[in-house]
Homo-oligomer: A and B are copies of this chain.
Amino acid sequence: MLDVTLLGCGGTMPLPNRWLTSLYVKYNGRGILIDCGEGTQIAMKEAGVSAHDVDLILLTHYHGDHVMGLPGILMSMGMSGRTEPVTIAGPKNLSTVVSGLCVAAGIPFGLEGMELTEEVCELAHGFGPQLHIRAYALKHSVPTYGYTIELERLRRFDPERAKALDIPVKYWGRLQKGEIVREPGLVYTPDMVLMEERKGIKIAYCTDTRPTDRIIQAGKYADLMILEGMYGEDERLEAARIKKHMIFSEAAELASNANATELWLTHYSPSEVHPENYIENARAIFPNTLCGTCGMHKTLNFTDM
């Protein structure tokens, strides 16, 4: 199960009643935060999620509206008694940006940086072997990454097959976890005792960018795509092109091509006072689109048995 909260839905600058775009994902009692513009720590309090438990912060890029809340969150985590280190991932220049932003923050725990240099990369993390976090380069005015968070579902163990193959019970647990068991003169592989693959849970988060094929690939069969829709109106496509952002219909096109289940739009321009007025521009292409709102929440469970 993944618990997803869209903490904010704005771009460019925080507004009264519209926090900047940021995503909180909870898995096994620990948190992952994607982006943290000014005010994100307040948005977390409003949404009832705790900064204290955030072990991993993923930064898409270093425009102010995506990172300026970082020192405040780290400070507040420290004041709440946190002592465990926090890992921060982001594009090149990560340590310069983080140390600059934190110049006035007293942080009583370690920060571990994970600078992204490849176009596509799998991130090491401490959330266990079933969770896969990948970063992929986007197309913005500065180096920017999208992220997928994917929870793999373990294949079911088939005791009948194990018995038929005379596999000793003492190896069952290791095989069930996907481990290959090698002993002198014998090798047991998980495939021998595990049933068919089962669909996991996948979230694809992506802002700020122009549309790219890589976004479609990363979002393939995602349960939830969260994509920027800087402008709602199709007439603003040229402005989006110039500023390296997307309009609603472009985000919907990506979700449709990725065969995603659901799309949340976010990162609205401050000039979009009522983004919901343009939702049909997206739904005409991808019907299961929602306009993201601050604090919007969803629990994603495994869908098949």
A75 within 8 A of B: yes
Chain A interface mostly:
helix
Does the CB pair A13–B97 fall under 8 Å?
Answer: no
A96 in the interface, Cβ–Cβ < 8 Å?
A: yes
Q: Which residues of B contact A63 (CB under 8 A)?
A: 104
Measured CB to CB, the closest approach of chain B to A199, in angstroms, equals 37
- Most chain B Cβ neighbours within 10 Å, of A12, A14, A96: A14
Question: Given A13-B75, A16-B45, A71-B68, A103 and B104 touching (CB < 8 A)?
Answer: no
Q: Render A103-119 as a binary contact track against B, CB cut-off 8 A, 1 for contact.
A: 11110000000000000
Q: How many residues of A contact B (CB 8 A)?
A: 32
Q: Is A21 an interface residue (CB 8 A)?
A: no
Q: A1: shortest Cβ distance to chain B, in Å?
A: 27
Q: Which of B14, B16, B45, B97 contacts A72 (CB 8 A)?
A: B14
Stretch at the interface among A36-44, A181-189, A229-237: A36-44
- Decide if B38 touches A16 in the complex (CB within 8 Å): no
A159 at the interface (CB under 8 A from B): no
Closest to A102 in B: B100
Cα distance, A41 to B20, chains bound together (Å): 13
A62 at the interface (CB under 8 A from B): yes
Q: A217 interface residue, CB < 8 Å from B?
A: no
Whether B62 lies near A68 (C-beta < 8 A) is no
Interface residues in chain A, defined as those with a beta carbon under 8 Å from any beta carbon in chain B: 12-16, 38-39, 41-42, 45-46, 62-64, 67-69, 71-72, 75-76, 79, 96-97, 99-106
Sample (17) of A-B pairs whose CB atoms are under 8 Å apart: A13-B41, A13-B72, A13-B75, A13-B79, A14-B39, A14-B42, A15-B42, A15-B45, A16-B45, A38-B41, A38-B42, A38-B72, A64-B105, A68-B71, A68-B72, A99-B100, A101-B103
